[in-house]
C-alpha cells in the first residue's frame, strides 16, 4: 500500500513525469494569455464600438500593461521569500493563479453594476496583470527548475504557442461573451476557466519528497532545492547591477526598447482605428488579430532553424529592413489601403514583431550570466514591457491628433533603430562566438 502511494506521488511530480511537466507549463502559459486577450484585445475593441476615444483606450491599455513593466520586482522577491517544503516555484504559481481567479470573479461582480466604466475596468485589468506577470515569472522559474536540458527548446516553443492560444481564447471567446453577456459574463467565464487551470499546479508536486498541501503528512525539502535558497540578498543585487550596466547589456536594452515601443504604439492604436475609422466590426479585429498571432507562432517555430543557421544578428537586420520598407510602401501607396490591404499590413507587422521577439529573447538567453540568470532575464523582459507601455502612452497623448501615416512612420523609425543597436552588441553572430561572449 505504501509503495502504491509513493508510486502515485512520483507520477504526480513534475521532475519525474515529462508529460506532466509540459502540460503544467503549457496550461499556465495559456492562463497568462486569457487576461491579455480579454482585457488587452477584446475590451479595447468593445470600448471603441461603444464610443470611447483612441486616447482613452490607449490610456486604459497603458494602465493595465504597467505590471508587466515592473515584474522584475517579482524575481528577487521569489528568490528571497520561499516555501521550499512545497517546492521551489510551485507555491508562487498557485498564489498567482489564485489571484487571477479572485480578480476575474471580482471584476465580473463589479462590472455588473451600471454601464461599462473604463476607469474601473482599467483598475481591474491592472490587478489581473499584476497576478498574471507574477505567474509568468514563477512559471519561468518552475521551468528552469524542473526541465531537463534537452527539453528546453521544446518547452520554449510550447510557452510561446500556449500563450498565443490563451490570447486567442481571451480575445475571440471574450469578444463573443462581451457581445452576448456583457463584461460581467465575460469575466465570470474567464474566472471559471482559471479555476479549472488552477487544479493542475494545486494537485501536482515539483518533487515527490515535498508536501502537496499544508495539512499533508510528512514531506521534506529536496537537497537540490535547498541549495538554491538565497541567503545573501545584497551581494546578488550588486552583481546583477554590474551585469546590467555593462556596454553589451546597454546596447541590447536599447534594441529591445525600440522594438517594443513600436509594437506598443500600433498594438494600442489599431483596435480603435480599425473599428472607428475603417468601420470594422470589433469581433472582426479580434478574430484577425488572434489568427495573426497563431500564424506568427507557427511561422516562428518553422523559421527557428534558419535563425540558428544564420544567427540572430543577420536575421534581425533582414526582417527589420523588410518591415520598414513595407511600412513606407503601405503609407506611400493609398491604393494598398483597402480592407485586404489593412489585413495584410496587420499580419505583416505583428508577424515581424513576433519574429523580433523570438530573436531578441533567444539572444537574451546568451547574454544573461548563470549566477543571476533568473533576475537578469526578468529585468530584460520587464524593460521590454515598460517600453511597450511607453508606446501606448505615445498613442494616449497623440493618438487623436496624429494621422495614421505619422503614427506608422514614427513606429518605423523605432523598428529600424532596433537591429542597428543590436548589431553593436555583437550577439547572434554564431554559436562559437556567442559562447565566448556569454562566458565573459
The cell numbers describing 213, all together, are 498541501
Alpha carbon distances (Å) from 57 to 38, 47, 371: 14, 7, 41
Report the pLDDT value the prediction gives residue 150, as an integer from 0 to 100: 64
How many other C-beta atoms can be found within 10 angstroms of the C-beta atom of residue 274? 23
- What CA–CA distance (Å, rounded) separates 208 from 10? 5
Question: One fold for both 1-230 and 232-440?
Answer: yes
Q: Report the alpha-carbon distance of residue 171 to residue 33 in Å, rounded.
A: 9
Could you give the CA distance from residue 108 to residue 436 in angstroms, rounded to a whole number? 52
**Residue 417 near residue 258 (C-beta atoms within 8 A):** yes
Q: What is the pLDDT of residue 260?
A: 93
**Cα 92 versus chain centre, distance:** 18
H or E element, residue 368: none
Helix axes 18-37, 90-111, angle to 10 degrees: 30
Mean pLDDT by 10 residues, the chain (440 residues): 46 82 90 91 87 85 85 77 80 93 93 80 94 88 74 68 84 87 92 95 86 80 71 77 88 93 92 86 78 84 77 88 96 90 93 86 70 72 85 88 93 95 75 44
Distance (Å, whole) CA 45 – CA 64: 15
Grid cell 517579482 is found at 74
Confirm if 235 and 242 have CB atoms less than 8 A apart: no
CA-wise closest residue to 254 among 94, 416, 141, 145: 416
Do residues 90 and 143 make contact, with C-beta atoms less than 8 angstroms apart? Answer: no
Query: How far apart, in whole angstroms, are the C-alpha atoms of residue 252 and residue 426?
Result: 10
Whether the pTM exceeds 0.75: the reply is no
β-strand partners of 13: 205
Say which residue the cell 504557442 belongs to.
161
The closest alpha carbon to 208, from 196, 221, 190, belongs to 221
CA distance 390 to 388: 5
CATH of domain 1-230: 1.20.1250.20
Helix (H) or strand (E) holding 378: helix 373-398
Phi/psi at 148 (5° precision): -80, 155
For 232-440, CATH number out of 1.20.1250.20, 1.10.240.10, 3.20.20.70, 3.10.20.340 equals: 1.20.1250.20
DSSP letter at 12 equals: T
**Dihedral of alpha carbons 364, 62, 162, 8, sign:** positive
Contact at 8 Å (CB) between 97 and 193?
A: no
**To which H or E segment does residue 74 belong?**
helix 74-80
What's the DSSP call for residue 172?
I
- With a CB cutoff of 8 Å and minimum separation 6, the contacts of 435 are 366
Residue 332 CA: distances (Å) to CA of 21, 178, 329, 395, 410: 50, 37, 5, 21, 14
CA 62 to the chain's CA centroid: 15
Domain chopping of the chain, boundaries = 1-230, 232-440
pLDDT the model gives residue 70: 78
Q: Are 3 and 256 in contact (CB under 8 A)?
A: no
pLDDT of residue 4: 44
Residue 51, classified by CB atoms within 10 Å of its CB into exposed (0-12), middle (13-18) or buried (19+), is: exposed
Round the CA-based radius of gyration of the chain to a whole number and report it. Answer: 22
pLDDT confidence of residue 412? 96
Amino acid at each position: 500500500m505504501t509503495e502504491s502511494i509513493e508510486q502515485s506521488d512520483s507520477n504526480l511530480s513534475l521532475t519525474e513525469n515529462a508529460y506532466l511537466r509540459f502540460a503544467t507549463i503549457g496550461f499556465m502559459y495559456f492562463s497568462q494569455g486569457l487576461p491579455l486577450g480579454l482585457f488587452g484585445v477584446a475590451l479595447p475593441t468593445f470600448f471603441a464600438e461603444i464610443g470611447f476615444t483612441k486616447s482613452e483606450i490607449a490610456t486604459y491599455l497603458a494602465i493595465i500593461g504597467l505590471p508587466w513593466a515592473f515584474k522584475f520586482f517579482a524575481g528577487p522577491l521569489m528568490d528571497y521569500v520561499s516555501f521550499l517544503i512545497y517546492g521551489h516555484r510551485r507555491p508562487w504559481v498557485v498564489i498567482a493563479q489564485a489571484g487571477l481567479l479572485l480578480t476575474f470573479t471580482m471584476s465580473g461582480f463589479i462590472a455588473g453594476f451600471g454601464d461599462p466604466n473604463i476607469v474601473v475596468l482599467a483598475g481591474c485589468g491592472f490587478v489581473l496583470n499584476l497576478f498574471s506577470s507574477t505567474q509568468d515569472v514563477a512559471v519561468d522559474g518552475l521551468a528552469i527548475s524542473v526541465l531537463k536540458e534537452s527539453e528546453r527548446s521544446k518547452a520554449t516553443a510550447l510557452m510561446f504557442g500556449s500563450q498565443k492560444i490563451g490570447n486567442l481564447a481571451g480575445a475571440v471567446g471574450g469578444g463573443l461573451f462581451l457581445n452576448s453577456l456583457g463584461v460581467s459574463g465575460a469575466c465570470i467565464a474567464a474566472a471559471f476557466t482559471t479555476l479549472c487551470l488552477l487544479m493542475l499546479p494545486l494537485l501536482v508536486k515539483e518533487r515527490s519528497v515535498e508536501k502537496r498541501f499544508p495539512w499533508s503528512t510528512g514531506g521534506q525539502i529536496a537537497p537540490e532545492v535547498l541549495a538554491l535558497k538565497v541567503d545573501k540578498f545584497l551581494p546578488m543585487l550588486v552583481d546583477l547591477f554590474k551585469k546590467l550596466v555593462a556596454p553589451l547589456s546597454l546596447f541590447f536594452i536599447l534594441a529591445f526598447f525600440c522594438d517594443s515601443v513600436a509594437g506598443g504604439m500600433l498594438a494600442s492604436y489599431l483596435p480603435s482605428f480599425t473599428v472607428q475609422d475603417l468601420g470594422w466590426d470589433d469581433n472582426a479585429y479580434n478574430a484577425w488579430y488572434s489568427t495573426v498571432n497563431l500564424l506568427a507562432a507557427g511561422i516562428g517555430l518553422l523559421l527557428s532553424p534558419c535563425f540558428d543557421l544564420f544567427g540572430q544578428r543577420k536575421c534581425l537586420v533582414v526582417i527589420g529592413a523588410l518591415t520598414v520598407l513595407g511600412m513606407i510602401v503601405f503609407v506611400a501607396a493609398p491604393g494598398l489601403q483597402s480592407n485586404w490591404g489593412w489585413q495584410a499590413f496587420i499580419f505583416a507587422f505583428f508577424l515581424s514583431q513576433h519574429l523580433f521577439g523570438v530573436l531578441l529573447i533567444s539572444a537574451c538567453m546568451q547574454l544573461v550570466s548563470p549566477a543571476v540568470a533568473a533576475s537578469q532575464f526578468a529585468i530584460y523582459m520587464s524593460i521590454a514591457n515598460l517600453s511597450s507601455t511607453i508606446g501606448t502612452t505615445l498613442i494616449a497623448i497623440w493618438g487623436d491628433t496624429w494621422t495614421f501615416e505619422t503614427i506608422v512612420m514614427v513606429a518605423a523609425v523605432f523598428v529600424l533603430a532596433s537591429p542597428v543597436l543590436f548589431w553593436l552588441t555583437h550577439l547572434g553572430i554564431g554559436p562559437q562566438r556567442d559562447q565566448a561572449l556569454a562566458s565573459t
